[in-house]
Structure 1
Amino acid sequence: MMETDVLVIGAGPAGSAAAKHAALGGASVILIDKKSEIGTPKRCAEGIYDHGLKWLEIEPDPQWAVRRINGGTIIAPDKTRLTLDETILPEKGYIIERKVFDKYMAMDAARAGAKIMVKTLAKSIMRDQDSEGSFCIVDCEQMGETIEIKARIVIAADGPESRIAKAFGINSTTKPKDMMSGVQYEMVGVNCERMDLIELHLGAFADGGYAWVFPKGDDIANVGIAISSTSERPAIEYLNEFIASYPPLSNAKAVELNVGGDPIGGLIGQISDDNLLVCGDAAGQVDPITGGGIILGMLGGKTAGQVAARAVRAKDYSARRLKEYEVLFDEYTQGAIPKLAIAKDVYRSLSDNDLNQIIHAFVGLDYNNMTLSDVLRVILKVSPRLALKFGKLFKIVFQS
């Protein structure tokens, strides 16, 4: 039997962040992943923003930060373009190479002192007690052999509908209405107007979601779509129709296909318990509007690792002690996920005509000194009905 203070299950960005910060806090850490190669297959549009990297104290590295992004363009259903670039937005970002980034983050965890074990699948979990308090025994399968790992704290970072959380009695099931079905090509031969801006294409054509073009090189981009998981047709049909209809992609050819589900229902009901912390997609630490989860998941992982290390030092692995994780994550993110979930519901209620009107109203405005009140006044000019809807949203989202 192997013994460790903290066992992290899942070596995505959230799990690696958890392992790194638990190890930096003085805990012994094992990080396991069921795959033989960390980072594959990718299920991500690969966008990340500067401020998030600063929160995580990560310096961009050209090994994985492959394209500088200076803003974005929102395309209305009627093809009107609203561009928010470096002349308007102070925030910039990168398109990253997830296959490299995930491995890089796992290496960071290893350098901090975590032991990495690939091709290792957690099969079952049992709680027990000894003279030092409660612990877990995790039965794992590694390359055809069964091994046992004894851990004081388990951090579940095993993705949507976490099996590990369920093993502890937590309901991590995502309702169909709260799951997006995503599909993406990495394409070459892309010829967008500006290859330093991401593009978000809105409208009913995406059946409750949106399409995107995220540049990765001079003529390379991730081109994808996320639709409601309850849609009658598969997501790839919607994506192929979008590509066929968009002139900058007329000569583009796919070199890679990525598919996956994205939980957008917000945080699951419980993300900590006796001997357990849950982070990343497993915890629902995902932006409900865009489905982006790298930064939020890694903030969850970082917080979980720090709390786990403190609990190990205190020799207290109880749910009461580990509840600190939920409080700190909410503080660090300023309660962003529940608020964004409300914004998602507003977005889904907008018709193509609503979207056209809103985007038309914001084209050409001076954003340098614009306040939230100014934004609401612009929407009021478009439609009192929409202003009422957004007014309620702003009151809830920005009340803190």
Structure 2
Amino acid sequence: MIETDVIVVGSGPAGSSAAKHAALGGAKVILMDKKSEIGSPKRCAEEVPVKGLEKLGIELSPRWIAKRIDGMRILTPDGTDIWLTKDEVNLSGADCVLERKVFDKHMAMDAARAGAEIRIKTLVTGIEKIENGFIVETESMGKKEDFKCKILIAADGPEGHVARWAGLLPAAKANEMGSCVQYEMCNVEFEKPGISEFHFGSCAPGGFVWIFPKGDDIANVGLGIIPHKAEKSPKEYLDDFIAKSPYLKNAQAVELNVGGDPAGGMTKKLYDDNIMVVGAAAGQVNPLTGEGIIPGMIGGMYAGQVAAQAIKEDCSKKFLKLYDKMVREELDYESKGYKEVQDYIYSLSDEELNELGHALHEESFDEISANEVLKKIIKISPKASLKLGKLVM
């Protein structure tokens, strides 16, 4: 039996963040991942806000930034577009597109440098609740080992098992789990370089199509849908979109990524005695944009900080409630408010989206933010004002 203070299951950005901050707080930490290579395969569109990385104290590195983004373009079904670029708006909140296969390793190395032990190719096969913690059963290259910890942090993604085994509800209901597919492509043509595109409407029911540039002619081209709103598979919708796009007529796929994305906001219960849940496993994903890297890392940071403190004081759910309080204060408006915006936007028909696009096309914007776009939508749409007016801050 190998004993430690904290075990983190899953070495994505949320798990590595949790391991790093628990180790920085003085806890003895083991970070486990079932994969033989951290960060691969990627299951992510890779675009994140630079401000989010800076808030987490992460120094930007050209090793894992594929492209700095110069703005965004929103398109409705009839091709009406709204440009939000450095020529029109303040880009202080601009994004960058990561190279996740490098970024995830970078974050795991950060955790290791803080003092965490990393165990790759280690599959968690079961857990057992004991009086003062958990027994974690694992298998690694045919060898079975048991670990004992005082705090268990589940960071094993939207389809993870650890939280369920502990009796906590899954992050998303089946009808709120987005189904996503993406190609990384070359020979992509851009109307303007460095601009992320978002296409709404029946091309992606319950979601949207994205084109996120990663280089001069390279982009992540993907979509997310809500399956019960769709008539075809995600790949069929994406292939249809690509076949009709003049910018993708010569594009070639060099990588295929698939996965689920919890679109219903944070799960109601993020903790119990001796356990916390972080990242996509906890639904720490922006319901409107599907972006989960920064929210997950924030959740991981707070879980790690609370875990380190709990080891010294009290590992019961009474103490771990502090994690729930911290993460909800940081993310709850985003989770709850954007879920209502998501429900409204995805309820619109192609014709209604076109009308909204025509009106937004005539508007001027001060900055790139979801709240700024929301203000404009409420301004021009009485229906949106009735449903969403209370969300404007």
TM range (shorter): over 0.9
- d(CA) in 1 for partners of 2:14 and 2:370? 32
Letter in 1 for 2:115: G
Q: Distance in 2 between matches of 1:239 and 1:207?
A: 11
**Pick aligned residue for 2:124 from 122, 125, 135:** 122
**Which runs of no fewer than 5 residues in structure 1 stay unpaired?**
none
Asked if structure 1 preserves the Cα contact closer than 8 Å seen for 2:375 and 2:392, the reply is no
Contact in 2 for aligned 1:47/1:96 (Cα 8 Å): yes
Q: Relative to 1, partners in 2 of residues 1:152 and 1:194: Cα closer, same or farther, differing over 3 Å?
A: same
Query: In the alignment, what sits opposite 2:267?
Result: 268
Contact 1:5/1:153 (8 A) holds in 2: yes
2:389 is aligned to 394
1:367: how far off?
Answer: 2.4
TM-superposed deviation, 1:366: 3.1
Separation in 1 of the partners of 2:32 and 2:382?
53
1:305 to 1:370, Cα distance in 2 relative to 1, 3 A: closer
**Secondary structure in 2 aligned to 1:91?**
coil
Q: Tell me, in whole angstroms, the C-alpha distance in 2 between the residues paired with 1:370 and 1:291.
A: 17
In the alignment, which residue of structure 2 is the partner of 1:101?
Answer: 103
**CA distance in structure 2 between the partners assigned to 1:28 and 1:369 by the alignment:** 43
**Code of the aligned partner of 2:307:** A
- Determine the structure 2 residue equivalent to 1:286: 285
One-letter code of the match for 1:28? K
Q: Which amino acid aligns with 2:237?
A: Y
Alignment RMSD: 2.1
Partner of residue 344, structure 2: 346
SS of 2:89 mapped into structure 1: coil
C-alpha distance in 2 between matches for 1:256 and 1:239: 14
Give the corresponding residue for 1:19: 19
Contact 2:171/2:280 (8 A) holds in 1: no
Say if 1:176 and 1:229, in contact at 8 Å, map to a contact too.
no
Structure 2: runs of 5 or more not aligned: none
- In 1, the alpha carbon distance for the partners of 2:122 and 2:325 equals 31
Query: Are 2:83 and 1:88 equivalent residues in the alignment?
Result: no
Q: CA deviation at 1:23?
A: 0.3
The change in CA–CA distance for 1:166 and 1:318 in structure 2 (over 3 A counts) is same
Distance 1:297 1:381, change over 3 A: closer
**Deviation for aligned residue 1:342:** 1.3
- Give distance in 2, aligned partners of 1:237 and 1:289: 23
What do the CA deviations read for 1:56-102 (whole angstroms, capped 9, x no partner)?
Answer: 11111111111010110001111011011123133112111111111
**Partner AA of 1:105 in structure 2:** M
Q: Cα distance 1:336–1:254, how it changes in 2: closer, same or farther (>3 A)?
A: same
What amino acid does structure 2 have at the position aligned with 1:394? Answer: G
Which deviates more from structure 2 when the two are superposed, residues 380-389 or residues 349-358?
Answer: 380-389
Instruction: Report what 1:228 is aligned to.
Output: 226
Q: Which residue number in structure 2 is paired with residue 71 of structure 1?
A: 71
In 2: Cα distance, 1:266 partner to 1:380 partner: 22
Kindly indicate whether residue 113 of structure 2 is the aligned counterpart of residue 111 of structure 1. Answer: yes
Q: Partner residue of 1:39? A: 39
How many residues are paired up?
A: 390
Q: Secondary structure at the match of 2:163?
A: helix
Shift of 1:247: 0.3
The 1:294–1:84 alpha-carbon spacing in structure 2 relative to 1, beyond 3 Å, is same
Structure-2 separation of matches of 1:66 and 1:370:
20
Q: Give, as a single letter, the amino acid of the residue that structure 2 aligns with 1:72.
A: M
User: How many Å separate the matches in 2 of 1:383 and 1:281?
Assistant: 33
Sort the Cα spacing of 1:49 and 1:79 in 2 relative to 1 into closer, same or farther, 3 A: same
Q: Could you say if the C-alpha distance between residues 40 and 274 of structure 1 is closer, same or farther in structure 2, counting changes exceeding 3 Å? A: same
Aligned equivalents of 1:375 and 1:297: distance in 2? Answer: 24
> What letter matches 2:267 in structure 1?
I
Shift of 1:126: 1.5
CA distance in 2, matches of 1:174, 1:317: 26
Deviations along 1:230-263, one digit per CA (max 9) or x if unpaired, are 2332111100110011101011011111111111
Q: How far did residue 6 of structure 1 move?
A: 0.5
State TM-score, norm by structure 2.
0.94
Identity of aligned residues (%): 50
Change (3 A) 1:13 1:83: same
Counterparts of 1:317-396 in structure 2 under 5 Å?
317-333=315-331, 335-368=333-366, 379=377, 382-389=380-387, 393-395=388-390
Q: 2:264 corresponds to which letter in structure 1?
A: G
Counterparts of 1:255 and 1:375 in 2: how far apart (Å)? Answer: 34
Q: How far off its partner does 1:173 sit?
A: 6.1
Letter in 2 for 1:53: L
- Alignment pair present for 1:246 and 2:245: yes
Q: For the residues of structure 2 that align with 1:188 and 1:373, how far apart are their CA atoms?
A: 33
TM-score, normalised to structure 1, is 0.93
